[in-house]
Structure 1
C-alpha cells in the first residue's frame, strides 16, 4: 500500500535507516508499523520517554523473577494494559507466553490481535531474553 495513503499509520522504521539512493528515511506502514510499535512498546522502560513517562512495560525489571503461573498472569496483564493505553489501532485477542526455552533464558511472548479499522487478525511474537547477551565464550 502506498505510504502516503496508509490509513493504519506510517512511521520511521526502527532502528532508523536511510535509503542509499535518495537519502530519505525508510518508512514503514500498516501492519508492519503496528508490529514495530508493539516491539518498541514492549522494549521500553517507563520513564525512558521524557514527554510520555508512563509509556512502556518495564519487562527488564522482571528478569530475575521465578516463572510461576501468577507471574505469567502478571506479565500478560502488564502487556495488555500497555497495549490498551498506547496502541489504539488494535484489540488484543490473546497473549501467550511460551516458556519452553526458559532454561536457555528465552521466553516468547505472542500477542494475537485484531486491527480495529479492518477487522483483520494478526499476531506478533516478541522474544524476551532473561539472560544478557554477550559474546564471551567459555
Structure 2
C-alpha cells in the first residue's frame, strides 16, 4: 500500500545525518505524530509565514486546574487540530490530571488517519510547573504506547 500521501517532513528537532549528507526525515504516521507535537508546543505568532498556527497552551500554564481550565485546554487542542492537521479525524481529547501534584497533566489525543482509517493515540505531557528538575527518561517511561 502506498502511504506517501500521508506526508514526509523533517524530524523535530531537526537532526542532520552526516553519513547521508542530509536532514533526517519522518514519514507517514510518524510524521503525523511529530506534527501534533509541534502544533501543541507552538505559540501563535511564533511562525512568521503562518502567524495563526499553534495552540497557545502556555497562557494556561499557571492557572488552577479546575473544570473551566480543563475545558479551555481541551477546546484549544481540538480547535488547533481541526484547523491545522487535515490528515486526521479527531475522536477524543482526554486530560489525565492524576499526576497534577507532580506538575504534569497528560493530554491524550485519539485520532483516526483519514485515508487509511487507522486509529492512533498521542500522549502529550503538559507540565504545569517549572520544569528545571524534570527527569525526561522517567517521564517517557510513564507514557502509554502510542499504538
Q: TM-score, normalised by structure 1?
A: 0.91
Cα distance, 1:72 vs structure 2: 0.9
Q: How many residues matched?
A: 134
The Cα RMSD (Å) is: 1.7
Distance in 2 (CA, whole Å) between partners of 1:62 and 1:134 is 19
Cα distance, 1:126 vs structure 2: 0.4
Specify the alignment match of 1:132 in structure 2: 130
User: What secondary structure is seen at the aligned counterpart in 1 of 2:32?
Assistant: helix
Note the residue ranges of structure 2 that are not aligned, 5 or more in a row: 134-147
Distance in 1 (CA, whole Å) between partners of 2:20 and 2:115 is 32
Alignment of 1:91-130 (within 5 A): 91-130=89-128
Aligned: 1:6 with 2:4: yes
Cα distance, 1:45 vs structure 2: 0.4
Specify the alignment match of 1:73 in structure 2: 71
Distance in 2 (CA, whole Å) between partners of 1:70 and 1:133 is 24
Note the residue ranges of structure 1 that are not aligned, 5 or more in a row: none
Cα distance, 1:20 vs structure 2: 3.3
Specify the alignment match of 2:47 in structure 1: 49
